[in-house]
């Protein structure tokens, strides 16, 4: 695995996530361990320097994107039950190890699991299995490590416990296929397409509809 010093030398502290990270060609070997650049100490150190520097206005030259094919979409792949699902990587703020769930009194909505402490902020944890109607896993998954995804858009985040995270993949628009009839009705509602992956497929979730439904369920 490349050291942090080697990655700084190869790409520069302030640009590595755009060049070799999730916004670039994903060649950084640290991605296998951190899953997302936001979990990497190089990214954290660059953010600290940015916040500490004096305010300036600088005209930056245009940057040539690492990927010229705009159809390639970075997708975080994870597992619920026996199903592999995907969400846009830009929607996932962090990938955490499992943390204690604190019950919400008088809450009877089965999709609400409780509250999770995320960097000092109590955040609602939501069951995707309940939302999508996914049954518990029927197969054994050796080496699977449960994770919690912190997802959301501007100013609103939730925690989604998942049974495993495979990492980030990029799919072209031409890879997308229609959702098969064998997928459960609830899952079909939130799945906009499927893509071939490894020996099976991944259901790409409709992020906008998913967040909207979570908001309504918590209202």
* Same domain, yes or no: 79 and 153: yes
pLDDT one-digit tens code per residue, 44-64: 666 555 444 443 334 434 443
Is the separation of the CB atoms in 20 and 58 below 8 Å? no
* Same domain, yes or no: 77 and 30: no
What is the spatial distance between Cα 219 and Cα 207, in angstroms, rounded to a whole number?
18
- Average pLDDT for the chain: 79
205 versus 187: the higher-pLDDT residue is 205
We report the CATH number of the domain holding residue 190 as 2.40.50.180
Neighbours of 81 (CB within 10 A): 17
* pLDDT at residue 91, rounded to an integer: 93
Neighbours of 144 (CB within 10 A): 13
Residue 206 lies in a domain: yes
Cα–Cα nearest to 177, from 189, 187, 192, 188: 192
Domain residue limits at 38: 4-52
* Same domain, yes or no: 104 and 190: yes
* Model confidence at 176: pLDDT above 80: yes
* Same domain, yes or no: 92 and 191: yes
Is the separation of the CB atoms in 152 and 211 below 8 Å? yes
Residue range 81-103: mean pLDDT, rounded:
94
* Same domain, yes or no: 31 and 135: no
pLDDT one-digit tens code per residue, 189-215: 889 899 999 989 999 999 999 998 888
Is the separation of the CB atoms in 131 and 187 below 8 Å? no
* Same domain, yes or no: 32 and 94: no
Reading the block at residue 68, the tokens are 């010229």
* pLDDT at residue 28, rounded to an integer: 84
pTM: 0.67
pLDDT one-digit tens code per residue, 109-118: 889 999 999 9
């Amino acid at each position: 695995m490349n050291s942090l010093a080697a990655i700084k030398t190869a790409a520069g502290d302030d640009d590595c996530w755009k060049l070799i990270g999730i916004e670039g060609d994903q060649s950084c070997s640290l991605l296998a361990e951190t899953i997302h650049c936001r979990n990497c100490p190089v990214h954290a150190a660059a953010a600290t320097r940015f916040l500490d520097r004096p305010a300036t206005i600088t005209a930056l030259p245009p940057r040539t994107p690492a990927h010229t094919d705009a159809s390639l979409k970075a997708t975080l792949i994870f597992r619920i039950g026996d199903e592999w699902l995907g969400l846009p990587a830009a929607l996932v703020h962090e990938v955490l190890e499992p943390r204690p769930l604190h019950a919400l009194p008088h809450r009877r909505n089965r999709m609400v699991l409780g509250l999770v402490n995320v960097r000092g902020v109590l955040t609602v944890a939501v069951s995707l299995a309940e939302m999508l109607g996914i049954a518990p896993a029927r197969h054994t998954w050796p080496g699977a490590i449960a994770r919690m995804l912190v997802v959301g858009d501007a100013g609103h985040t939730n925690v989604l416990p998942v049974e495993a995270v495979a990492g980030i993949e990029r799919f072209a628009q031409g890879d997308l296929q229609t959702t098969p009839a064998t997928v459960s009705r609830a899952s079909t509602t939130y799945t906009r397409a499927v893509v071939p992956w490894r020996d099976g497929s991944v259901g790409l979730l409709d992020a906008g509809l998913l967040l909207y439904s979570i908001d309504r369920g918590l209202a």
